[in-house]
Amino acid sequence: MTIASALLDWYDQNARELPWRRDKDPYKIWVSEIMLQQTRVEAVKEYYERWIKRFPQPEDLARAAEQEVLGYWQGLGYYSRARNLLSGVREVCAVYGGKVPDEEKKVQALPGIGEYTAGAILSIAYNQRTPAVDGNVLRIFSRLFCLQEDILKASTKRQVYLLVKEHMDPARPGDFNQALMDLGAMVCVPKRPRCGECPLTSLCEAYARDVQDILPLRTPKKAPVEVVLAAALLERKEVYLVRQRPDNGLLAGMWEFPAVEVLANTTAEDCLKTLLLNELGLEVSVGEREYYYVHTFSHRKWHISFYRCRQLSGRLKPEQGRWFRLESGEELPWAGPHRKAADALRCAMKNGF
């Protein structure tokens, strides 16, 4: 029995029912794969359904404003994914008449699409023999072939890519890639792989050598940098001061309560007063801390405190911020933990606090 036959037999009996598998629309596959980056499948399902309802075709997304698109992405994080998806779809509509191209070079040239996403689109939608190598596939093949190199190294990834292509079923490349996705999610998991349930156990070198719990090898990630932040909850007649983050960098273009990093040998109060005066033109007093959240990114860990503030004098520089009514019905694409603070404020207002 080959890897392909054993894997596909298992997949035919155990494939997950996922909303993006209802058809082989390349646009929908593209959307789902971008959403699934750095995000759990169960968390993505609801976002995907809502997205496709609002943007069922590439043309619908291409016509949408970026702020609306970011609003529909709110909560998935890594917002550059949404911006790249929007740019890519606009390019598909402008250059390819709304049809996702079926050539690897053209697909990979679209914003935000790398080798993995291109492989998923081309194999599933267009039945092309193109591997889609992600963390699941790297883990499975490092165990199958007992690879002793760091799976995060480019040379190891290339080795796995070639192995996948060699063993891929030419008649069902899309199903082969999706079967690997499911096997990695349900059976060949990172810790304590369920080898007794695996269709590839008899073909697995790591299992034969009893090293499946050790593989794959990888260099440990660096711990995220700890960052202390203070944010201002400045209210005036039931509206709050908010501002938009810069167009580049972390959480680019998202909305937040004015926030500043609190460096060593400074206080949150002094930092907020300086920020609001110098950048927004407002003199304020800083009151008690209202909320505190810890928010972890891949490379940063925010410790952010939200303080009630009161305006003493000055006039808001309009290009630096706006007054926003939390209960207006308008949805802003909030930056990370600022959404939690906004939700907490709404709840407090609703309950009369």
SS3 99: coil
Name the catalytic one among 33, 104, 115, 261.
33
Residue from 229, 235, 257, 255 nearest 309 by CA:
235
**Cα dihedral across residues 246, 249, 255, 257: positive or negative:** negative
Which two three-digit tokens encode residue 298?
Answer: 């891949």
β-pair type (300-314, 225-236): parallel
Active site residue 226: no
Q: How far apart are CA 245 and CA 332, in angstroms?
A: 12
Q: How far apart are CA 31 and CA 100, in angstroms?
A: 12
Residue from 120, 119, 55 nearest 90 by CA:
55
How many C-beta atoms surround the C-beta of residue 318 within 10 A?
10
**Cα dihedral across residues 24, 111, 104, 132: positive or negative:** negative
Counting DSSP H helices and E strands in the chain, the numbers are 14, 7
Residues in the chain: 353
Which two three-digit tokens encode residue 316?
Answer: 């808001």
* Enzyme catalytic residues: 33
